[in-house]
Chains A and B, each alone.
Chain A
Amino acid sequence: MAGGGATGGSVQSETYREARTLLLLPAWVTLGLLTLAPLMIMLIYSFLTKEFRGGVIWEFSLEAYDQFFFDRGLFGDEPPKIEWTYIGIFWRSIWQAGAATILSLLIGFPTAYFIATRPERQRALWVFLVTIPYWVNLLIRTVSMKFLLRDEGPLNDGLMSIGLISEPLGIVNTNLAVQLGLFYSYLPFMVLPIYAAVERYNFALSEAASDLYAPRWAVLRRIVIPSVKPGIIAGCILVFVPSLGSFLAPDLLGGAKTFMIGSLIEEQFKGNAGNWPFGAAASMILLTMVLILLMVFARQSRKEEA
Chain B
Amino acid sequence: MAKPYDLRRYPGFFAITLLCLVILYAPLVVVAVYSFNDSPSITIWEGFSLRWYVDVFTGPESGKFKDAAWNSFIIAITAATTATIIATLAATAVLRAGKFRLRTVSIGLISLPLMVPEIVTAVATLIFFNAIAFERGVMTILLAHIAFCIPFAYMPISARMQGIEATYEQAAMDLYATKRQAFRRILLPLMMPGIVSGFILAFIISLDDFIITNFVKGAGVETLPTAIFGAVKQGIKPNIMAISTLLLAVSIVMVALSWFIGRRDPAEER
Q: Footprint of B on A, CB under 8 Å?
A: 1-4, 6-9, 11-17, 19-20, 23-24, 26-28, 30-32, 34-39, 41-42, 45, 55, 107-108, 110-111, 113-115, 117, 124, 126, 128-133, 135-141, 143-148, 152-154, 184, 187-188, 191, 203, 206-207, 210-211, 216-217, 219-220, 241-242, 244-248, 252, 261-262, 265-266, 269, 276, 279-280, 283, 286-287, 290-291, 294
Q: Which residues of A contact B169 (CB under 8 A)?
A: 13, 15
B155 touches A6 (CB 8 A): yes
Interface of A is mostly: helix
The reply to whether A242 and B252 contact each other, CB–CB distance below 8 Å, is no
Enumerate chain A residues within 8 angstroms of B109, measured Cβ to Cβ: 27-28, 31-32, 35-36
* B113, closest chain A residue (CB): A35
CB distance from A14 to the nearest CB of B (A): 4
In the bound complex, how far is the Cα of B33 from the Cα of A296, in angstroms?
45
Residue numbers in B under 8 Å from A107 (CB-CB): 16, 19-20, 23
The answer to whether B7 and A269 have CB atoms under 8 Å apart is: no
Q: Would you list the 8 A-B pairs with minimal beta carbon distance, nearest first?
A: A3-B111, A245-B117, A13-B166, A144-B27, A38-B128, A14-B98, A38-B124, A34-B147
**Is B69 part of the binding interface, using a Cβ–Cβ cutoff of 8 Å?**
no
Q: A130 contacts which chain B residues (CB < 8 A)?
A: 20-21, 24
Note all chain A residues with C-beta closer than 8 A to B111: 3-4, 6-7
Cβ-defined contact, B27 with A34, below 8 A: no
Interface centre among B159, B166, B211, B256 (most CB of A within 10 A): B211
Whether A138 contacts B210 in the complex (CB less than 8 A), given A23-B92, A187-B24, comes out as yes
B49-57, B59-67, B188-196, B241-249: which one contacts chain A?
Answer: B241-249
| Residue contact B229 to A20, C-beta cutoff 8 Å | no
Name which residue of chain B comes closest to A219, CB basis: B7
Set B9, B155, B182, B236: member contacting A15, Cβ < 8 A: B182
What is the interface of chain B, defined by CB distance below 8 A to chain A?
1, 3, 5, 7-10, 12-14, 16-17, 19-21, 23-28, 30-31, 34, 42-43, 85-87, 89-90, 92-100, 102-103, 106-121, 123-128, 130-131, 143-144, 146-148, 150-151, 154-155, 158-159, 161-162, 165-166, 169-170, 173, 179, 182-183, 201, 204, 207-208, 210-211, 215, 225, 228-229, 232, 236, 240-241, 244, 247-248, 251-252, 254-256, 259, 263
The interface residues of chain A lying within 8 Å CB-to-CB of B173 are 15
Q: Nearest B residue to A180 by beta-carbon distance?
A: B23
Could you say which residues of chain A place their CB within 8 Å of the CB of B130? 55
Identify 15 new A-B residue pairs, CB closer than 8 A, beyond the known A27-B87, A135-B252, A290-B117: A6-B155, A9-B161, A20-B98, A26-B89, A27-B89, A34-B143, A35-B124, A41-B128, A45-B127, A55-B130, A114-B16, A140-B228, A207-B7, A245-B118, A262-B119
Inter-subunit contact B211/A247 (CB<8 Å)? yes
- Cα A148 to Cα B10 with chains together (Å): 31
Does the CB pair A117–B120 fall under 8 Å?
no
Docked complex Cα distance between A6 and B116 (Å): 16
* 22 A–B contacts from the bound complex (CB under 8 Å): A3-B151, A11-B97, A11-B98, A15-B179, A17-B97, A20-B98, A27-B87, A28-B109, A34-B144, A39-B116, A114-B16, A128-B259, A129-B21, A132-B252, A132-B256, A140-B28, A143-B232, A206-B7, A247-B211, A266-B119, A283-B123, A286-B119
Whole-angstrom distance from the CB of A274 to the nearest CB of chain B? 11
A124 to B264, CA, bound (A): 12
Residue of A nearest to B89 (CB): A23
B10 touching A113 by the CB < 8 A rule?
yes
CB of B96 within 8 A of CB of A286, answer no
Contacts A26-B90, A137-B251 given; does A265 touch B30 at CB 8 Å: no
Q: Nearest chain B CB to A261's CB is how many angstroms away?
A: 8
Best-buried of B5, B27, B87, B256 by chain A (most CB within 10 Å): B27
Q: Which residues of B contact A23 (CB under 8 A)?
A: 89-90, 92-93, 97
